[in-house]
Amino acid sequence: MTELVPGGNVPLPGGPLTLRVPGPFDVSALVTGDDGKVRGDADFVFFNQPTAPGARLTGDTLTVDPAALRPGATRVTVVVSPADPGTPLGRLPSPGLQVTGPGGRALARFTPPALRQETVLLLAEIYRRGDAWKLRALGQGYGDGLAGLARDFGVEVVEEPAPAPQPFIPAPRAPVSAPPRAPFSAPFRTPVSAPPPPTGAAASQAGADGYLGLVNSARAQAGSPPVSLDARLSSAAQAHAASMAAAGRLGVEGGDGVSVYQRVVTAGFTFLTIGEHLVSGPRTPSDFVAYVLRTEQPRRTLSNAAFTHAGLGQVAEPRSGDIFWTALWARPFTAADLARTAAEVTELTNRERIRAGLRPLAPDPLLTVAAQAHSADMVARDFYSHTAPDGSRPWDRAAAAGARRRSVGENIACGQRSAGEVVTGWMNSPGHRANILKPDFTHIGIGLAGGGRSGTYWTQLFGA
pLDDT for 157-197, tens place per residue? Answer: 443 333 333 333 232 322 222 223 233 222 232 222 333 43
Looking at residue 191, its pLDDT comes to: 29
Looking at residue 294, its pLDDT comes to: 86
Looking at residue 420, its pLDDT comes to: 92
For every residue of the chain, which 3-state class applies, written as one string? CEEECCCCEEECCCCCEEEECCCCEEEEEEEECCCCCCCCHHHEEECCECEECCEEEECCEEEECHHHCCCCCCEEEEEEEECCCCCCHHHCCCCCEEEECHHHCEEEEECCCCCCCCCEEEEEEEEEECCEEEEEEEEEEECCHHHHHHHHCCCCEECCCCCCCCCCEECCCCCCCCCCCCCCCCCCCCCCCCCCCCCHHHHHHHHHCCHHHHHHHHHHHCCCCCCEECHHHHHHHHHHHHHHHHHCCCCCECCCCCEHHHHHHHCCCCEEEEEEEEEECCCCHHHHHHHHCCCHHHHHHHCCCCCCEEEEEEEECCCCCCEEEEEEEEEECCHHHHHHHHHHHHHHHHHHHHHCCCCCCEECHHHHHHHHHHHHHHHHCCCCCCCCCCCCCHHHHHHHCCCCCCCEEEEEEECCCCHHHHHHHHHCCHHHHHHHCCCCCCEEEEEEEEECCCEEEEEEEEEC
Looking at residue 156, its pLDDT comes to: 52
Looking at residue 149, its pLDDT comes to: 65
Looking at residue 253, its pLDDT comes to: 84
Extract the residue ranges of the chain whose pLDDT is less than 70.
Answer: 1, 85-86, 115-117, 142-152, 154-209
Looking at residue 152, its pLDDT comes to: 65
Among 89, 93, 54, 60, smallest CA distance to 74 is for 54
pLDDT for 284-331, tens place per residue? Answer: 899 999 988 988 888 999 999 999 999 999 998 887 788 999 999 999
